[in-house]
Structure 1
Amino acid sequence: MSKIEYSVDSEVAKKIHDLLQPTLVELIDIALTGKQLHWTIIGQRFKDVHEHLDEIIDSVRVHSDDIAEYITTVGQIPDGTAGTVAKGRPFEDVPIESIDVEDVLNYTAQMLKTASQNIRGRIDAADIDPVGQDHLIQTAATLDKHLWMISASR
């Protein structure tokens, strides 16, 4: 078996895992819920919001992959399984029906805001590892940009 070298102390790695793991869950849930909204949106401005949801989904998937890989990079195991995401998600379920554009915008804005606020709450504690902290900062910045754009669309 190969021996993998890590540059981060195991205690720090465990702490950073505990800060990044909930962010991973939130990002996976945003991507999944975003797709559900993308498929069921109806109403005025359908096309614009439909396509914007894809942009949001693509960017959160990139961040979730980066965070999961960083968790692995420090010697921990990320958990993006459906069961873990279902247990750890802070968002309400969306109805499984056609959803008006305004409701999609409102739900998406609330989801982005909640996730960004949760991530911001983890940033200070992540100062034990500036690289892990940077992942949180960059993710919050991306979510805030999408929140601004979605909010401006309402």
Structure 2
Amino acid sequence: MYQTKNELSESIRERNIELLNARLVDCIDLQSQIKQAHWNVKGPNFIALHRLFDEIYEAVGEYVDTIAERAVQLGGIAQGTVRVAATRSTLREYPLLASGETSHVEAVSSVLAAFGQLARKAIDEATEDGDADTADLFTGVSRGIDMWLWFVEAHLQ
């Protein structure tokens, strides 16, 4: 770990760097899955979903950056290469052969919901550790993921 004048204890910072890196790889995987849907969606609502998935991709990219930067702020190293994400992500694999809009909407809503659950768990873990800023970061991410999930699920109703 790098030296920092951050007043959180080294043990708290270490645990939260580990937490942040775990969610970072999931978030990178989430972003790539959203782009997979963006590229391959087909159907009568193609343009609406194509654009929606691109908006989600951009927003998730900001979550990736925020999570990675927090790990570094705490004195850690952000571990977010594609290879690291591929080996450590806890998200389910995206159905690569999906093409119809319903199958993509189902897959995207499922992965958003799964990541949202992980973000809420991270809020609890950071709160228990006394790292209010990391908890707040994940609260913002969770709120954003829930909004995108709502937008996507609206296409199923």
> 1:42 is paired with a residue of what secondary structure?
coil
Partner of 1:39: 39
Choose which of 113, 132, 135 in structure 2 pairs with 1:133: 135
Partner of 1:6: 5
Partner of 1:72: 72
Give 1:59's aligned amino acid. A
Contact 1:6 1:74 in 2 (8 A): no
Deviation per CA, 1:125-149, whole angstroms, max 9, x where unpaired? 2021111111111111110110111
Instruction: Pick closer, same or farther for the CA change 1:98–1:125 going to 2, 3 Å.
Output: closer
What is the root-mean-square deviation in Å for CA atoms of aligned residues?
1.6
Shift of 1:5: 3.1
Shift of 1:82: 1.8
Shift of 1:90: 2.5
Deviation per CA, 1:19-39, whole angstroms, max 9, x where unpaired? 211211111111111111111
Shift of 1:81: 1.3
Alignment of 1:54-65 (within 5 A): 54-65=54-65
For 1:65 and 1:56, locate their aligned partners in 2 and report how far apart those are by CA, in whole Å: 14
Shift of 1:15: 1.1
Contact 1:6 1:73 in 2 (8 A): no
For 1:106 and 1:90, locate their aligned partners in 2 and report how far apart those are by CA, in whole Å: 18
Contact 1:112 1:143 in 2 (8 A): yes
Unaligned runs of 5+ in 1: none
Instruction: Pick closer, same or farther for the CA change 1:98–1:133 going to 2, 3 Å.
Output: closer
Give 2:109's aligned amino acid. A
Contact 1:20 1:136 in 2 (8 A): no
Deviation per CA, 1:69-121, whole angstroms, max 9, x where unpaired? 11101101111112221122233333444610111100000000000111211
Partner of 2:81: 81
For 1:136 and 1:101, locate their aligned partners in 2 and report how far apart those are by CA, in whole Å: 30
Shift of 1:4: 5.5
Shift of 1:64: 0.8
Instruction: Pick closer, same or farther for the CA change 1:4–1:89 going to 2, 3 Å.
Output: closer
For 2:103 and 2:90, locate their aligned partners in 1 and report how far apart those are by CA, in whole Å: 18
> 1:53 is paired with a residue of what secondary structure?
helix
